[in-house]
């Protein structure tokens, strides 16, 4: 990156050697170039943010699918849980959206997202908000609702999600599937949720009302699923 004068908050790191990396994120650090291909250009992450970043090829594929299947009148994309920016950057790079909004509650993680967007050269295409996405949607972005779609990659309660063969979406912490659906529906029905690959499909089906359909898509890397996305509302996946 050209202007490397920014100072990272104390809980933000750019680990360069395995010996610096806490043991519980070494698995993720080993995949750093899959997570951010420009990692060596100075990507910032907090230790907690590693768990939730969408690997770049997956983020790009989701961005491509959302770009091609969103309803025509949808010109704004809101990334409700932007984290360190993996998905937000991919949406901005896609060129499909008039504006991309990234919301993140954690100040340091938001600093990472802003910094990482600069590395990818898309900072001018993104408006960032710090705070609770449900409040921001209600109070600050309401006027954009008719033109917007939401992408949400919520916390799943940490990497411990892997211990259950079938992930219970009703017990997802801190926001259950029902809570996310009902809160986001107050804003728009056009939403895509990024959820564990082991998500209980029966619970997903029970959320679908009347004769509507939703598309569930697994996103894979090296022959195994990383996660799935559920496409609701006007998304028209062929």
Sheet (strand 215-221) strand order: 126-130, 99-104, 76-79, 148-152, 191-195, 224-231, 215-221
Give the nearest distance from C-beta 167 to ligand MGP in angstroms.
Answer: 11
Q: Rounded to 10 degrees, what is the CA torsion of 170, 163, 132, 139?
A: -30
226 binds ligand MGP (CB under 6 A): yes
- 4: how many CB neighbours lie within 10 A of its CB? 7
Give the nearest distance from C-beta 54 to ligand MGP in angstroms.
Answer: 4
Encoding tokens for residue 56? 């770049």
14 binds ligand MGP (CB under 6 A): no
Residue 111 DSSP one-character state: H
Nearer to ligand MGP, 134 or 147 (CB): 134
Q: Which residues of 124-144 are buried (b: 16+ CB within 10 A; e: fewer)?
A: ebbebbeeebbebbeeebeeb
The beta-carbon contacts of 62-65 under 8 Å, at least 24 apart in sequence, are 62/87, 62/90, 62/151, 62/192, 62/194, 62/219, 62/229, 63/87, 63/90, 63/91, 63/93, 63/94, 63/96, 64/94, 65/217, 65/229, 65/231, 65/237
Give the nearest distance from C-beta 194 to ligand MGP in angstroms.
Answer: 5
Within residues 187-206, the interface with ligand MGP by CB under 6 A covers 194
Q: Are strands 224-231 and 215-221 parallel, antiparallel or unpaired?
A: antiparallel
Give the nearest distance from C-beta 129 to ligand MGP in angstroms.
Answer: 18
* Choice from 25, 32, 54, 113 touching ligand MGP (CB under 6 A): 54
Nearer to ligand MGP, 131 or 155 (CB): 155
Give the nearest distance from C-beta 41 to ligand MGP in angstroms.
Answer: 20
156 binds ligand MGP (CB under 6 A): yes
Give the nearest distance from C-beta 161 to ligand MGP in angstroms.
Answer: 6
Binding residues with ligand MGP: total (CB under 6 A): 16
131 binds ligand MGP (CB under 6 A): no
161 binds ligand MGP (CB under 6 A): yes
Sorted by sequence, the CB contacts under 8 Å of residue 15 that are 6+ apart come out as 21, 29
51 binds ligand MGP (CB under 6 A): yes
Give the nearest distance from C-beta 210 to ligand MGP in angstroms.
Answer: 28
Which region among 48-56, 62-70, 167-175, 177-185 touches ligand MGP (by CB under 6 A)?
A: 48-56
55 binds ligand MGP (CB under 6 A): yes
155 binds ligand MGP (CB under 6 A): yes
Question: Which residues bind to ligand MGP, rule: CB under 6 A?
Answer: 27, 51-52, 54-55, 153-156, 158-159, 161-162, 194, 226-227
């Amino acid at each position: 990156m050209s202007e490397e004068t920014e100072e990272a908050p104390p809980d933000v790191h750019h680990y360069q050697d395995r010996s610096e990396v806490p043991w519980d994120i070494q698995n993720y650090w080993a995949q750093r170039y899959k997570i951010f291909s420009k990692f060596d250009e100075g990507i910032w992450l907090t230790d907690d943010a590693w768990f939730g970043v969408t690997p770049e090829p997956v983020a790009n594929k989701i961005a491509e699918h959302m770009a091609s299947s969103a309803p025509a009148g949808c010109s704004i994309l809101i990334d409700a849980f932007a984290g360190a920016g993996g998905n937000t950057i991919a949406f901005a790079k896609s060129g499909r959206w008039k504006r991309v909004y990234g919301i993140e509650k954690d100040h340091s993680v938001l600093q990472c997202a802003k910094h990482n967007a600069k590395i990818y050269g898309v900072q001018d295409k993104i408006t960032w908000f710090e705070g609770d996405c449900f409040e921001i949607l209600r109070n600050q972005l309401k006027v954009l609702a008719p033109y917007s779609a939401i992408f949400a990659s919520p916390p799943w309660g940490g990497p411990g999600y892997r211990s259950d063969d079938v992930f219970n979406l009703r017990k997802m912490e801190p926001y259950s599937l029902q809570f996310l659906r009902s809160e986001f529906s107050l804003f728009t029905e056009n939403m895509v949720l990024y959820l564990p690959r082991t998500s209980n499909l029966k619970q997903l089906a029970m959320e679908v009302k009347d004769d509507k359909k939703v598309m569930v898509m697994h996103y894979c890397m090296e022959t195994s699923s990383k996660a799935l996305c559920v496409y609701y509302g006007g998304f028209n996946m062929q």
